[in-house]
Every structure is written in structure tokens, then in C-alpha cells.
């Protein structure tokens, strides 16, 4: 049990570091976000524009990561695990289009998207470890 707790502590520290780096990376995308905002997205057949989709993903993923950073857990980890499994940035058609375009035009955005998905995976793994070692009565 001590080994698991130590592992979770290492994950929690790394999640905090990633949150900090993600904030810096987000600031570094300002110019590219402005360029994307001015772009014509009439060829996108989604309800939200790429930057809106990215913001929604960011809020959800960062929300779970911040709860882990602050409390070491989330309010409903079973629901969080299920949601994080579906929130993959590469399951979102609009984000995939943006990511592919970012390869040649928006390298900071591409880096941000990759880091955001990495944070999602790390939070998901943290919660799955936590779930597997909860007492039966929990």
C-alpha cells in the first residue's frame, strides 16, 4: 500500500508540473490562436469551431488535473475515468483537423494539443490506480 501511495504522489507531482507547463504552452500559442481565429472554417461541419473545441477539452481535462493537484482525488472518480476515456483529443474530428493543419502552420498549437492529451492520459492512469486500490467499502 505504501508503494502505491508513493506512486500516486509521484503522479500527483508530475500532474502539477504538467499543469504549469501547459499554462506556459497555452500562453505561447497566443499568436497562433489569433491566426486560427481569423481563419475561415466554413468547411468544418461541426457545431463548434476548432478553438472552441480545444477550450472545452482544456477545461475538462485541466479541471480533473487541478482536483488531483489540490485534493489528490476527484469528486467522482468512476465518472471521471469514463469521461477521460472519451475525451481523447484524437477522438474529436475538429481537433484532429486542427492538429493535422498545425503540423505545418501552427507548431505551438500542435505541441499544446499533444501535451493536453498526455495530461489526460496521466490523469486517467492516476485515477485508475487509485480506483484499483480503494477499500471495498469506499
Which of 20-24, 70-74, 79-83, 98-102 is predicted with the least confidence, judged by mean pLDDT? 98-102
- Interatomic CA distance for residues 12 and 7, integer angstroms: 9
More confident residue, 4 or 1: 4
57 part of a folded domain: yes
Our count of domains for the chain comes to 1
Evaluate the CA torsion angle 110, 66, 132, 85 in order and state its sign.
Answer: negative
**φ, ψ for residue 131, nearest 5 deg:** -65, -40
Q: Enter the pTM of the model.
A: 0.89
- Interatomic CA distance for residues 14 and 24, integer angstroms: 15
35 part of a folded domain: yes
Query: What DSSP line would sit under 53-95, residue for residue?
Result: HHHHHHHHHHHHHHHHHHHSS-TTHHHHHHHHHH--GGG-HHH
138 part of a folded domain: no
Question: Residue 23 sits in which domain range?
Answer: 2-132
pLDDT digits (tens, 9 = 90+) for 110-138: 999 999 999 999 999 999 999 988 765 44
The CA-CA-CA angle for residues 61, 107, 22, to 5°, reads: 30
Amino acid at each position: 500500500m505504501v508503494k502505491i501511495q508513493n506512486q500516486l504522489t509521484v503522479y500527483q507531482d508530475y500532474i502539477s508540473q504538467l499543469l504549469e507547463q501547459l499554462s506556459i504552452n497555452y500562453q505561447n500559442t497566443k499568436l497562433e490562436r489569433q491566426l486560427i481565429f481569423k481563419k475561415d472554417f466554413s468547411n468544418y461541419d461541426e457545431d463548434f469551431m476548432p478553438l472552441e473545441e480545444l477550450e472545452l477539452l482544456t477545461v475538462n481535462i485541466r479541471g480533473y488535473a487541478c482536483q488531483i493537484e489540490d485534493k489528490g482525488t476527484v469528486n467522482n472518480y468512476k465518472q471521471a475515468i469514463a469521461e477521460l476515456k472519451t475525451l481523447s483529443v484524437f477522438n474529436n474530428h475538429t481537433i484532429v483537423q486542427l492538429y493535422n493543419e498545425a503540423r505545418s502552420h501552427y507548431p505551438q498549437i500542435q505541441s499544446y494539443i499533444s501535451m493536453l492529451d498526455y495530461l489526460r492520459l496521466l490523469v486517467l492512469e492516476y485515477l485508475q490506480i487509485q480506483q484499483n486500490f480503494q477499500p471495498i467499502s469506499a
